[in-house]
Each structure stands twice: as C-alpha cells, then as structure tokens.
Chain A
C-alpha cells in the first residue's frame, strides 16, 4: 500500500475539487466578458472569419447586397419603402452581429481564464544540474532532459518527472484547488507541471517538454479556443447546413423568374430577406458557440479535453471501464461490523478493537474507531501511558500493551499463533467466520486480548455513496459499466454486485485491460476509461476516451485525450454527460431552426404576392398588418431568436439520464413542435409592435 499521507492529501483534493471549481468560475454572463464580446463581434465581421461559417457568410453577403441597394435607391424610393428597406438592412446586420456575439461570449470565458493562466507562465529561473554544478538558466531556455533542482518556495520551471526527492506542491494555478498535493520520485505520482509551486522539501525534476509546448501552454491554447478545430460531427452538421442553404438559394433565386411570370417582380431586399429567414441561421449562428461552451463546461469541471473529437466521442461511449479503487470504492478498506466470539460481549470486542486502533493513524484504524463510536456506543478517551506495538510485515499485527493487558489485532493466522504462544487457544468458531468474510470479499482482522480471542473485525471496501444510482442512470443511457480491479474474482464479484456494475474484470493486468478494450471496440463499442500509471498509457491511447489523472505520470497524460486536473476518476461519468449534452444541444437547435421556417413562409410568401393575387391573403394566417411589416417582422424574429437562444447554447440543453426513445420524444416535443409554434407567436407580436411604431 502507498504511504497513507499521499492518499489522504489527494483524497481531500478529490472531495473538495469539483464543487469548489464550479463555484469559482464566473456565471454565464458577466460584464467584462460581455464588453469584450461586443467588440469582438464587430471584429469578427471580417470575411476571412465569416467564411468558416457558410450560413452566416451568406447572411453577411446578403447584408452587404441590401445595404448597396438601400443606398442606391434611397433617393428614388418612397419614405415607407425606405423605412422598410432600412429596417431590413439593419436587422440583417444585427443577425450577423448576434451570431458573432454568441461566439465571442462563448470564447470570452475561456479567454478570461487563459489570461489568468498566462500570468502563471511568467519567466522563471531554473537551477539546472550540469555535472556537479548547478547553473541558472531562464525557463524559456530549458532543454529536454535537463535536471532542475527546485526547493520550497520556488516555481517549477517546466513540465517533468521527479527523479529525486519528495515534495508538497501547490497546483492551484492550474487546478484551482488550494490543498497541496504530494509528488515524489518513482511510482505514479512523479509528474509535475511547470508553473506550479513547491511548498516544502527539495526535488530534482527531469524536464520532459520543450518551452512553449508545456501542459500550461496547451491548456491556455485550449481554453482560449485558439487551437480549436471543428469536430467531426460539427463538420458533418456544417455540410448539412450548407446544403440547406444552397437548396434555399435555389428556391429564392428561382422565385424571381416565377414572380416575373406572375407579374410581381420582387426587390432584391425582399428576396434577400426571404433567403435569410429560410436558411438555418439559428443553428448556424450558434453552432460554434455550442462547441466552445461544451469544451468550457468540461474546463469548469477541471477536465481538459485535448480535442473536441474526444468530447464528441464521450457522448457515444457505450462501455465505461472504471477502476475499482478510487472510482467505485474509497481507496481504503473500512470497518463494517464487529463479530464477537461466543461468550464475548459485543461491547467488549468493540472496546478492545477501539483501544487497539486509537493510536493507529491508518484509514483502516480510524474507520475502526469511527465504527465503534457510531455503532457500538464507545467513547474514545485519551489513552494513558501505553506501549504501542506497531504493525510490521513480520508480525502482521499491531496493538498495544496497557495496564497489564495485551491487545492485538491482525491477520487471522498471526493472531492465532500469537494467542497460542501466550498459552491460549483459538475457538473453533473463529475459522468459519474468517472464511466467510474472506469469501464475501472482505478482510477479517482478528482481535485478541492476551489469551482470549475476542472476535473479528470485518473490513471491507466501501462503495462510494450514490455510485450505484449513477450506474442505474448509465444503464438507462445504454452504457455498460465494467469494473477493473486487481482483486481476486471472489472479492471483485462481491463489490461488483454491491455497486451494481454490469461486469467486472478481476486480477486485471494492463494487458488484460488492453485486451478488453480491443474486444469491446471490435464489437462496435466505444470505450472510455481512466488511468494514471505509466502502464495504463497504452490502454489510455487505445480507448476512445482516455481520461488521465493529473496526479499521474507524464506518459499517462500524453496517452489520454483528456486530463482531469482534480484526479477524480468518478468524473468520467460527468464527461459522458457533457458529451451527450453537447450533441443534444446541436440537434435540438437544428430541429428548432428548420421547423421555424414554416411560420416564416406563411409570413413572407403572402406578403410578396398579395399585391398581384389578393386572394393570397387567405394564407396570411397570422393576419400580419401589411406586406412590409410581415417581412420585417420575420427578419426581426429571425435575428432576435439568436440572442434569445444564446444562454441555451452556452448552458446546453437540459440533460436527463434516460433512454434514447424518451429523450427523443421530449426534445422533439420541445424543439420540434416548439420551433413550429413559437415563430407564429413571435412574428405576430413583432408585427403588432412595429405596426404600432408606424411601419406600413
């Protein structure tokens, strides 16, 4: 077992991490972000930026075109024509600006965070070992393989592995978590991140990344969205949206000849207005904001996704490989029950068990005291002078000698031999009890007082509260959970049953894990897993979603496609939910955008032709007051709906763990039917307002 101190610190970090992290980040909107976004939305009007978004690029071209016609015809048109044209032009520009604003706000939160991180990246001095000398080198001049000495109070100059020493490190600069963590050479907790501060002791770090390519640099690029590339699904959706835009361009362009044939040629401004209303501007405007916000939601939970692809894959995951220790159970075994021998009172056993553990600072020891207090009415008191007998690998027992009594607890064989050596005998009932506990996946600790065996402490792996419910949710979403453990199959089966996982892999070696991943993948499943050790690296790389613990080795962090800064493996479940939520938000807003068009048609088409075919007033089912107000209302609605949906795009559509069928029903009802109805109401309302304002 690893030194208990390390475990404790990281455990504290796990418990405090997520909630603190979320609280610290800003709300959806704050003044600084909005101010910055307003400026950015104008800067983003540059055609080079717009060209990456075909839908909004068309809107921008339309805005330019209508502006040209507005200016050209301003002198020759009637005032009501001009008011109408000006209205359309202004609102078309707003449509583009709103889209840019959505993206800028989404980026804003990341940028604010990147600024904070940049401060951390300030130039530091590294003390590099060269032979027997230590020379000062600027951190930006470090080479791969340089050995740096870092002592308490100094910033670690670059990413690396500790090759010598042990130290407490403050990683709050990147994790937002103030509790220090322990890093030491060798093992799975050897990696340190540049920009974090050593609080105690002295370590020697071997630099593993070049300046400019460090974890911190990558993190800044990620949260800022600088290296953001479109994800596969985003590209596919872009193709669909571009396709719809082209189809509607056919529709609108061909409408002019039809209008001429029908004796009602249309102005360019009206045709552009129709085009912009038809093409999927709502989702086109919000698509990139949705993607950025999705990544940001992960960052808020202190998870860094190295690519958007991984976030999308998280939504598709159908098999979760979960390490037992730390994910499903608390890392340590805990006392569950005291089983007394015949003729021994419960409280006598409890008292002895507690006494033997008062000085035992291991988690097991503390859990025994806790159990005795909470369930057996014992009161811990100060122990007067007593001789502590520490645990050793030879005796496999610990305990104390006090007031003439010798109390011991330990492995069954050891304690029995000790009792017999004292001249006592172990009762026949002992063996079956010990065996039963072992079979059930627990660890029996036998307690003896001198020559008497008092009873057995049942230590067991305690499943984290709430985890079983999570697995039920996972199952509803169609995700199979597999527990990975080094335990023997018996123990593993018991814990698996208690936690409610679908399957388990016992006595797992890294090779077994790898084989399991490959088997699942060849069956068409997408696999997610967490890992921290160097021997996890191949499996992390093979998995579709590999979440490396920040406390883990560099190799693991390189291999995975996500890093959890809190090193909390349970977060894998959150990651899956965030991935799903991202896709759901895209799909829902696409549906909303498409169903919106029906109302817009009913607003605009009668307005265009009611002059030549008065009978078309029949399909003006919203009874919009005039052709101009009808078209302008549709354009205004089309622009305002973008703003109205920005919060939803950033927050994500509400996610509920349920089967696909019920999720589909629900979202179709809200975003399909809602998308059909809302514009009828919205356009009518806007029409009433602008008519009252005097648009004719």
Chain B
C-alpha cells in the first residue's frame, strides 16, 4: 500500500516539476521569440521551410489556419491509408504481414489521424514494422502537434489585440514536433529501452516454451512508438495488450514513466496559456480546474478498484491482500502494477484522451468503469489531450465566463475579450457536436437488431460498453471498454464518423472563435471585471463542466454503471 502511495506522490511531484518547466519552454517555442536551442533547431527548421516552401514570417487568418489543418489531415489520412493497403510490398515487413483490408485501413487511418487511436486490430498480427514506424508513429507525432497548434492559435486569439492573424500552422507544426515532441520522446525511449522494452527490427521468433508449447516472440520498434503514443496522448499500442504488455512497459518504473508522459504536455499547456496571456493566474485557474477534475477521477477509481468488487465478495471469493496478490479487483490487471496503479493509469489515460491502458476496463468495478467513462464524457479536459485538452477547457471557460460574467453585471469577457453572440454560437456548436453523435449512435445501437448482436453482456453492463465505445471515439480517446465486437460494418462506420466529428467539428469552431476573438479590442481589467485567475473561478469552471456534462449524460449513466453497481447484474 505504502508503495502505491509513494508512486502516486512521485507522479504528482514529477508533474509539479515538469508543468512549469515544460510550460514555460513551450510558451517560448510558440511565441517565436528567442527559444532555448535555437542554434541547434533553427538551421533544421529553415531547411524544412525551404523544402516545403513555407514562409515562416507569413501569418495566417483563422480560415487559412483551419484550411491548413484540414489539408494536412487529408493528406495524412490518404498516405496512411495507402501505406496499409500496400504494406505487403513495402520495406520492413519481416513477418510478411498482408495488406490491410480496406474498411480496417480506413478506420485505422481516421483513428490515428484524429489522435484517437481506436484500434480494431491487434498490432502484432496486422501491421508491418514499416506501417507502425512510418505510418502510425508519424501520425502519433503530427496529430498531437496539430492539436497543440490549434490550442496555440486559440491562445493567440485570446491574447492578441485587434489582430486578424493567428500564427502560421506550418511553422507551429514544425516547431512543436522538432522542439517539443522529438526531444522528450527520444530521451524517454532511451529510458524505456534501458528498462527492457523491445526496440529492434527483428521478425517474430518462434520458441518452444517449458511446457512444450510453441510461442511467437515478436520484435519491432516498440519503445520508440510507445513513448510518443503516451506523450502525444494517442494511445494506440504496438501490441493489442497495450501498456499492459511487458514489451511495451516492462517494469513498475516504466509504468510510472509512461503515466507521467501522457500527463505532462496537457498540464503544461495550461501553464503555457498563463505565460502567453502574460498573466500566470489565468494559467493557474485553468490548471486548477484540470488538476482538480483529474484528481477527483483518479481518487474515485483507485479506492474503488483497491476495495474490490462487492459482488465477488458476496460470492465468497477473497479479494484480500496476500503475499501473492495485491488484493482488490484484480480481474484484467497486471500483478506488477496492482489495482491502484492500474486504476491511476487508466484514469489518467481516459482523462487525457490518450486511451492507452495497462488493465482491462471491462473488468473494472461498475462504478470504477463508470468514472473512467465520465472522465471522457467531460470532453477530455481534465487535462485532456495535447492541445485539445486546453482548447476544450478554454471553451468551457468561455461558457463559465458567460454565465458568471453576467452575475457581476458586465457583458461577459475573457482575458478582456467580449464573449458575444458570435462566440456563443460557436461555443454552443462545440458543446453540441459530441453529445449529439454519442447519444445518437448509442441509442440506435442498443435498439437495432444487428448491432445488438455485438454486445457480449446484455443488461446495464452492455449499455455501458456501447456508450463507452461511442464516448471514446467521439472524444478522440480511443480506449475500448471491450466486451463489444467493434469490427463490424456498423461500428466501423459509426465510430469512424464519431472520431472525425470529435476532431474536426470541434477544431473548426475553435479556430473560428480564435479568429473572432483575435479581431476584438482587448478591454483592460478593472475591479469591475470578472476575475478569471482565482480559485473561485477554477472551482466554477470545474463545476460548470461537471454540471453541463453530468446533466447531459446522467440518464445513460444511471441506466448503465449506476444501476449495475446497485443491482450487481453484469
């Protein structure tokens, strides 16, 4: 137990240290002022700009920025699709993986493009090493960077005064990848390899086990892909077992490192926001709301799992801590992680739109699984994905400002920018899209005869499974509750739509808001201005997020996890 407490404290301490350091560093990277490492990075960046024909000084309006994001995404999805369809004829395919079928290629391409990493395949028997390295891992980098770029554009909109432009997407993308993602990923990969994670280009070794069985030991560039999958809050594992697989995360230390990696950028983004707003308190408030919601989620799941499943106890199965068992609800969890660190990992990964797992969500206690589901329902803002977490939270902040701003007798403003009808339209659009697709497709799936067949567990647990799948895809999380056979035409199509909506139907309104706010005159703060850099505002922000989301999904949560935990029918 005490080991767990130490692990949790160490993780929090690492975040407390990394958030200001990384946050300040990123702020310098995004403001194009003198940033550390210019001597090293500048020549490389200049080369990239020259090859791609980008004018690094050319600023873009929000429309151009949005078109750049969309165009980049379109090219990405086509390349990734083509690579899977042709992988049998390409390099680095020692296991002779066949070409990936068209529907699955499309699903996977859309999934990695949108930073979701929902996987309707098992990596070890579907993807060639080339597809993993040059296709999926590359998307892990650039989809994370695109999310960050959009968040940065929103910050610029909020902080610039009467400006038509939001920066340059191509410059932002380049700088984020080269100056933020690659350096951290490289260092973390080396640590992972040192701890025993696999990193080679070998084919699968066939061996004979002690019991005389034959077993395939896969090789591949695992560690390099593992780190960016976490760092970029992507979540798509090299192997089907994801971070529960010993080749991905061999030790308790790597488990904690991976856990930190997926949290470090989303939290640091809040700090970056405060820095770029030239008002640290604004960053603290966003950070406080993110951190508070994150902790509530984690602190609910950990004891729920550690305490075990009450219905199993009623069936006279011991869940006590023994010399050989860490106790608690151990179904679907790794012994080396135990229930608490498993719960922490999965709670972190669903709070951050990562979706990587080190234990099976389907086997969590009803309420534990419910909290993990709720983490995603919040809209991935606690702290959310790389970039997407911050822009989601800032949209929430605009909603909170709108309601609370009126309460102090001013037309609402955030960072001195008035939130008016044009912005509210876009905020409402942002808030509507995700519940719409989740509830629509879940509702159809639970009454349509053909889709009902995919549910392994009827009753409340089945409802949770379907809701989870659509919630995960729509919020670009990508984790699966399992217990649902998702590789059908219905689920492949609808989940694909959800992923695209959850990414682009949110990014475009965010950029439109950024454009609209950027053009506005900044009103200087007075004592009559709603203070948005205070603990009270952080509380209000978290409260509004929980209430708005809670009210939307309360019925389905009541009929799924809540009933299940009360009834014990699963």
| Interface of A toward B, CB cutoff 8 Å | 232-233, 235-237, 239-240, 242-243, 246-248, 250-251, 253-262, 278, 312, 315-316, 318, 475-480, 522-526, 579-581, 583-584, 586-588, 590-591, 594-595, 597-598, 601, 605-606, 609, 613, 615-616, 618-619, 655, 659-661, 663-665, 667-668, 671
User: How near does chain B come to A232, taking the closest CB pair, in angstroms?
Assistant: 6
* B406 contact from A239, A251, A590, A598, Cβ within 8 A: A590
B404 at the interface (CB under 8 A from A): yes
Check if B536 sits within 8 Å of A233, measured CB to CB: no
Q: Using Cβ atoms and an 8 Å threshold, which residues of chain B touch A240?
A: 399, 402-403, 424, 427-428
With A587-B407, A668-B540 in contact, do A243 and B428 touch (Cβ < 8 Å)? yes
> Is B405 interfacial (CB-CB < 8 Å)?
yes
The residues of A that contact B432 with a CB separation of less than 8 Å are 243, 246-247, 250
0/1 interface trace, chain B 306-346, chain A, CB 8 Å (1 if under) = 00000000000000000000000000000000000000000
Q: A258-B463, A477-B528 are in contact. Are A247 and B435 (CB under 8 A)?
A: yes
Of A240, A246, A248, which is in contact with the most chain B CB atoms at under 10 Å from its CB? A240
Distance (whole angstroms) from the CB of A190 to the closest CB of chain B: 37
Q: Are A232 and B531 in contact (CB under 8 A)?
A: no
Lowest 7 A-B CB distances belong to which pairs? A587-B406, A478-B528, A478-B526, A580-B409, A243-B428, A587-B407, A615-B566
Q: Nearest CB to that of A523 among chain B residues?
A: B524
* Residues of B contacting A: mostly: helix
B531 touches A255 (CB 8 A): no
Q: Are A660 and B529 in contact (CB under 8 A)?
A: yes
Residue of A478, A523, A583, A659 near B411 (CB, 8 A) is A583
Contact yes or no, A668 B404, CB < 8 A: yes
In the bound assembly, the distance between CA atoms of A261 and B452 in angstroms comes to: 10
Decide: B536 and A616 in contact? CB cutoff 8 A: no
B277 at the interface (CB under 8 A from A): no
Which B residues, 387 to 419, have Cβ-Cβ distances below 8 Å to chain A?
399, 402-411, 416, 419
| CA A586 to CA B409, docked complex, whole Å | 9
* 8 Å CB contact of B566 from A235, A237, A613, A671: A613
The reply to whether the CB of B530 lies closer than 8 angstroms to some CB of chain A is yes
Complex Cα spacing A57 to B421, Å: 20
Q: Is B132 in contact with chain A by the CB < 8 A criterion?
A: no
Contact A661 B567 (CB under 8 A): no
Q: Which residues of B contact A591 (CB under 8 A)?
A: 403-404, 407
Question: Are A609 and B559 interface neighbours, CB within 8 A?
Answer: yes
- Contact assessment for B552 and A247 in the assembled complex, using a CB-CB cutoff below 8 Å: yes
Interface centre among B411, B442, B522 (most CB of A within 10 A): B411
Given the contacts A587-B404, A598-B547, A479 and B526 also touching, CB distance less than 8 Å: yes
Cβ A609 vs Cβ B463 within 8 A: no
Against A, the Cβ 8 Å flags (1 = close, 0 = not) of B100-113 are 00000000000000
- Are the CB atoms of A232 and B411 closer together than 8 Å? yes
In contact, A616 and B563 (Cβ under 8 angstroms): yes
> In chain B, what residue has the closest Cβ to A595?
B547
Q: Are A236 and B421 in contact (CB under 8 A)?
A: yes
Assuming the A-B contacts A257-B447, A258-B556, A591-B403, are A664 and B408 also in contact, with contact meaning beta carbons closer than 8 angstroms in the complex? yes
Does B447 contact A580, Cβ atoms closer than 8 Å? Answer: no
| B558 proximal to A (CB < 8 A) | yes
**Contact status A315-B409, CB under 8 Å:** yes
Q: A240-B402, A664-B530 are in contact. Are A257 and B443 (CB under 8 A)?
A: yes
Q: Verify if B562 is at the interface (C-beta below 8 Å from A).
A: yes
Other than the given A254-B556, A524-B522, A524-B524, 11 more pairs (CB < 8 A) read A248-B551, A248-B552, A254-B442, A258-B442, A258-B559, A260-B447, A261-B462, A584-B409, A586-B406, A616-B566, A655-B409
Task: Please indicate the chain A residues that have their CB under 8 angstroms from the CB of B403 in the complex.
Answer: 240, 587, 590-591, 594
> Is B460 at the interface (CB under 8 A from chain A)?
yes
The answer to whether the Cβ of B490 comes within 8 Å of any Cβ in the partner chain is no
Q: B552 contacts which chain A residues (CB < 8 A)?
A: 247-248, 250-251
In the complex, A591→B543 CA distance in Å?
12
Q: Select which of B425, B531, B553 is within 8 A of A239 by beta carbon.
A: B425
- In the bound complex, do residue B407 and residue A601 qualify as a contact, i.e. CB atoms below 8 Å apart? no
Q: Which residues of B contact A476 (CB under 8 A)?
A: 527
B546 to chain A, nearest CB (A): 10
Taking CB atoms, residues of chain A closer than 8 Å to B570 are none
Q: CA–CA, A621 to B195, complex, Å?
A: 51
- The interface bits of chain B over 521-548 (1 if a CB of A lies within 8 angstroms of the residue's CB, else 0) are 1111011111100101000100000011
How far is B524's CA from A522's CA once the two chains are assembled, in angstroms?
11
Q: Sample 20 A-B pairs with CB under 8 A, ordered by A number.
A: A235-B421, A237-B424, A240-B399, A250-B435, A253-B439, A257-B446, A261-B447, A261-B463, A262-B460, A478-B526, A478-B529, A523-B524, A524-B524, A584-B406, A590-B406, A594-B551, A601-B554, A606-B558, A615-B563, A661-B527
CB of B431 closer than 8 Å to a CB of A:
yes
A583 touches B409 (CB 8 A): yes
Contact check, B416 vs A251: say whether CB atoms are below 8 A apart.
no
Q: Which residues of B contact A260 (CB under 8 A)?
A: 446-447
Q: List, in ascending order, chain A residues with CB within 8 A of B420's CB.
A: 232-233, 236
Chain A CB within 8 A of B71 CB: no
The interface residues of chain A lying within 8 Å CB-to-CB of B528 are 318, 477-479, 659-660
Residue of B nearest to A671 (CB): B407
Q: How far is the CB of B175 from the nearest CB of chain A, in Å?
A: 31
CA A243 to CA B463, docked complex, whole Å: 26
The answer to whether A254 touches B439, judged by C-beta atoms less than 8 angstroms apart, is yes
Shortest Cβ gap from A235 to chain B (Å): 5
Give chain A nearest CB distance to B519 CB in angstroms: 13
Partner pick for A661 among B424, B460, B536, B554, CB 8 A cutoff = B536
Contact residues in B for A583 (Cβ distance below 8 Å)? 406, 409-411
Contacts of B407 in A (CB 8 A): 584, 587-588, 591, 663-664, 667-668, 671
CA distance A253 to B405 in the complex (A): 32
Instruction: Say if the beta carbon of B436 comes within 8 Å of chain A.
Output: yes
A663 contacts across to B, CB distance below 8 A: 407-409
B37: Cβ under 8 A from any A Cβ: no
Nearest Cβ distance between residue B419 and chain A, in whole angstroms? 7
B67 within 8 A of A: no
Chain A residues positioned under 8 Å from B558 (CB to CB): 605-606, 609, 616, 619
